[in-house]
Structure 1
Amino acid sequence: MSERNRDFGKYGARGVKGHEAVARRLDSLAGYFTTPVTAPRGLLARLHYLTRTDHARAAARAAGLTVTPRTLKAWLDGGRKPSRKNLERVEVAYRAVRRQNVARYLLGRLNAQGRGTRVEIHPLNQSQVSRPRQRVVEYRSLNVRHWDRLVEAWAADDDQALDEAWVEQIVDLGSQWGQYEYVTNVGFAA
């Protein structure tokens, strides 16, 4: 695509890829546990979430948490503490399972029976760019009616698919959609 930025930040512009901002917003809507996994309370909350149903246990195994049931029971009882590597696996598995569980709910809310959701796009930060090199980029909003590909890519943690789905949506901004490939923030509610 000819509108894609090739040397973003070369002259001092700051921002993040739009799809990364969308993923952060979806993560905040997913409502993860705030207590860190390193705290006993946070670990127990995640382990209970990952072991409460057969579906959750299968999804946790698929996400990389492959400890024996005996080890899992020892962690839950407080008899043993997981290693740092296993704590990371618990966190990754928890986030993957949470995304899968919340995706259908978010999709229904964001699609809003075909009405879609209004998305606010805050342009990149050009405060460090010299005056002659600054673009005229302004705050924009658009109504996204089809969230299926965005939410599906987010739930699968597929960065490339999320980027393609995001670009497919911002093309609706018109001929200068490439100016919104990098942003400071993307806001929407569900």
Structure 2
Amino acid sequence: MPERNLEFGKYGARGIKGHEAVARRLDALANFIATPVTTRRGLLARLRYLTRSDHARRAAREAGLTVTDRTLKAWLDGRRSPSRRNLERVEAAYRTVRRQNVVRYLLARLNREGRGTRVEFHPLNQSQVDRPRQRAVQYRALNVRRWDRIVEAWANDDAEALNDAWVTDVVVDLGSEWGQYEYVTNVGFAA
């Protein structure tokens, strides 16, 4: 594709890929449990979320939490503590199940019956770039009406598909200079 940055940061520009900023914002909208899984409170909150129904237990098993029901009960009762590896599995399963559970809600909230959501593109940071090499990049805003592919890729934790959906469905709509917004300091939207 034209306009792709091949050597980003070569002259000192700083920023992140736009799809990574979108993933962070969607994570914030998903409202994950804030307490770390390494604390008792955080572990119990995640385990309760993953074991509150048969559907949640199935989803947790599909997401990689493969311990027995007896072990889960021991963790919930406080008789045993999970290993570091199992804590990572609990966190990964929780995030996967939570993402799958909020997909419909986020799509309804972001698509707003075809009206879409206004997205703000905050340009990359060029404060460390020598003056002659700096680009004239400005803050931009765009109304995004098609969120289905973006949210689906985010829910599946597929960075490549998210990048493709973000660039082809959103960023190219910025016009002929869309490549300047491949890397940004932030992407903001309030849904």
The answer to whether the superposition gives a TM-score over 0.5 is yes
Question: Match of 1:186?
Answer: 187
Distance in 2 separating the partners of 1:54 and 1:180: 44
Question: Match of 1:61?
Answer: 61
Normalised to the residue count of structure 1, the TM-score between the two structures is 0.99
Question: Match of 1:171?
Answer: 172
Distance in 1 separating the partners of 2:64 and 2:4: 35
Question: Match of 2:132?
Answer: 132
Coordinate RMSD, CA, aligned: 0.6
Give how far 1:59 is off.
1.2
Residues 69-108 of structure 1 mapped to structure 2, 5 A cutoff: 69-108=69-108
Distance in 1 separating the partners of 2:34 and 2:128: 34
- Structure 1 runs, 4 residues or longer, greater than 6 Å off: none
Gaps of 5+ in 1: none
Give how far 1:18 is off.
0.1
Provide the identity percentage. 78
Residues 16-55 of structure 1 mapped to structure 2, 5 A cutoff: 16-55=16-55
Secondary structure of the 2:187 match is: strand
Secondary structure of the 2:185 match is: strand
Distance in 2 separating the partners of 1:32 and 1:80: 25
Distance in 1 separating the partners of 2:150 and 2:53: 27
Question: Match of 2:154?
Answer: 154
Secondary structure of the 2:96 match is: helix
Give how far 1:78 is off.
0.5
Q: How many residues align?
A: 190
Give how far 1:62 is off.
1.2
Distance in 2 separating the partners of 1:63 and 1:131: 49
Secondary structure of the 2:33 match is: coil
Distance in 1 separating the partners of 2:165 and 2:110: 15
Question: Match of 1:141?
Answer: 141
Secondary structure of the 2:91 match is: helix
**Deviation string, structure 1 residues 10-67 (Cα, Å, up to 9, x no partner):** 1100000000000000000000111110110100000000011112111111111110
Give how far 1:104 is off.
0.7
Normalised to the residue count of structure 2, the TM-score between the two structures is 0.98
Secondary structure of the 1:97 match is: helix
Distance in 2 separating the partners of 1:136 and 1:104: 39
Amino acid at match of 1:172: D
Secondary structure of the 2:176 match is: coil
